[in-house]
Amino acid sequence: MFNRGMIVFNLRKYEISFLVFTSFLLTLMNNLPYYSFHFSSSTTFPKPDLSALELAYHITWYTLQSLMSILFLAFFNYYWKKFLLPKNLANWLKFVLVTLYNVVLSYALLKASMYIAANTIGYPFGEQMAYKYYLWKYVYYTPFAVLMAFILHLIIKKRTVELNNARLIEENLSVQLNTLKDQVKPHFLFNTLNTLSAVIRNESREEGLKYVDDLANVYRYILERSNHNLVDMSVELGFAESYLRLLKKRFHRKFEIEIDIPNKYHQFQIPPLTLQMLIENAIKHNELTDASPVMIRIYIHNFQIVIENTIHEKTSDSSGLGIGLQNLNMRYKILMDKEIQISKANNTFIVKLPLLEKPKK
């Protein structure tokens, strides 16, 4: 299911990570020249006489002061400024207000930085130089922070649109899949009930009860598994055996079937009712007689399930629209992003289905 709460949480983590990381890069980039003043001297900027501990203390302050200032400006422009902007305000007025807010905030941070510096590291290059240093910081920190917030807003907006589109696609595919699965049931019910009626009229009570038991097993499977998108091959084969017993009551010796699926493939997965639909498709579109039964084979080849049947075309068959195969192909596209392969060769109709390996827990 599409977990909206988890996605919002992940987006918030991404937003914070983006702001912190870019703020840290901007801090390093802009402070490198000022770090160098402590290791070299010139007539303009004489090297301050500091111990190694004092030097580390000063560099730590410059780094933290810059990082916290940029973060504060970035968070303000990304998260907090909207609470200070009246709704339904013209864009140009919003721009003026945001600019004013940033100027005031930058000046407040400048004064706070000067005050904290005066009471901690002092002014190793003089108070006037310190003021220019902090002033120029905010002259380019503030536009960068605004730009950072704007870029992040565009990224998140694009990502939100993508996630919303993905959610709509998932919901649409879920509706399609449920519709496709529901199409299987009415047709199957009609055929089995017709056969049950014939068994009750023409055969013994015991045979009728056996047919009802098989029918109950088949419908139990449909009720339990039709809500699943995929089932294990072993489960589908077990269902196919019960279904084939029902068909034998209906068609007797008019078709023969051979199933050869090695045990190593029993844990792979396919959509439920797949084998039932393809067996029924083979019977529906061919002329079934005792003298020339339709031969159906189900086996594995090249990591695909192959279902093939001999062709005995009905002379009056007008139902060859392939709705069942279109249905099955659409289910595979939705579930696996793969398509089934359909071909005819040597008077044989062949359908090949991709196998899906069961996810490991």
Q: Is a pLDDT exceeding 60 seen at residue 319? A: no
How many beta carbons lie within 10 A of that of residue 237, not counting itself? 17
pLDDT tens readout for residues 132-180: 877 877 887 888 888 888 888 888 888 777 776 666 565 555 545 454 4
Same domain, 247 and 301: yes
**pLDDT score recorded for residue 304:** 92
Give residue 19's pLDDT band: very low, low, confident or very high (50, 70, 90). Answer: confident
The answer to whether residue 178 is domain-embedded is: no
| Cα atoms found within 13 Å of the Cα of residue 353, Cβ hemisphere only | 28
**pLDDT score recorded for residue 169:** 60
Give residue 308's pLDDT band: very low, low, confident or very high (50, 70, 90). Answer: very high
The answer to whether residue 186 is domain-embedded is: no
Same domain, 47 and 128: yes
The closest of 182, 52, 61, 76 to 113, measured between CA atoms, is 61
Q: What total number of domains does the chain contain?
A: 2
The answer to whether residue 257 is domain-embedded is: yes
Same domain, 125 and 269: no
**pLDDT score recorded for residue 285:** 84
Measured CA to CA, the distance from residue 24 to residue 303 in angstroms comes to 51
Measured CA to CA, the distance from residue 212 to residue 206 in angstroms comes to 10
In this structure, what CATH number is given to the domain that contains residue 349? 3.30.565.10
**Do 274 and 353 contact (CB within 8 A), yes or no?**
yes
Between these two residues, 20 and 202, which has the higher pLDDT value?
A: 20
Same domain, 133 and 241: no
Between these two residues, 54 and 90, which has the higher pLDDT value?
A: 90
Measured CA to CA, the distance from residue 110 to residue 133 in angstroms comes to 10
Give residue 323's pLDDT band: very low, low, confident or very high (50, 70, 90). Answer: low
Same domain, 164 and 209: no
Same domain, 158 and 293: no
The answer to whether residue 176 is domain-embedded is: no
Same domain, 255 and 348: yes
Same domain, 9 and 116: yes
Q: Is a pLDDT exceeding 80 seen at residue 47? A: no
Q: Residue 356 has what DSSP assignment?
A: B
Measured CA to CA, the distance from residue 153 to residue 107 in angstroms comes to 25
Q: Is a pLDDT exceeding 90 seen at residue 262? A: yes
In order, the DSSP letters of 55-106 are: HHHHHHHHHHHHHHHHHHHHHIIIIIGGGGS-TT--HHHHHHHHHHHHHHHH
The answer to whether residue 309 is domain-embedded is: yes
The answer to whether residue 360 is domain-embedded is: no
Q: Pick from 112, 142, 168: which residue ends a domain?
A: 168
Task: Please write down the long-range contacts of 8-13, taking CB distance under 8 Å and 24 or more positions apart.
Answer: 11/156, 11/159, 11/160
Residue-number span of the structural domain to which 47 is assigned = 4-168
Q: Is a pLDDT exceeding 70 seen at residue 34? A: no
Residues sharing a CB contact under 8 Å with residue 350, sequence separation 6 or more, in sequence order = 306, 307, 308, 341, 342, 343, 344
Q: Pick from 168, 195, 217: which residue ends a domain?
A: 168
Same domain, 49 and 155: yes
Tokens of 267: 């844990």
The answer to whether residue 227 is domain-embedded is: yes
The answer to whether residue 218 is domain-embedded is: yes
Same domain, 157 and 15: yes
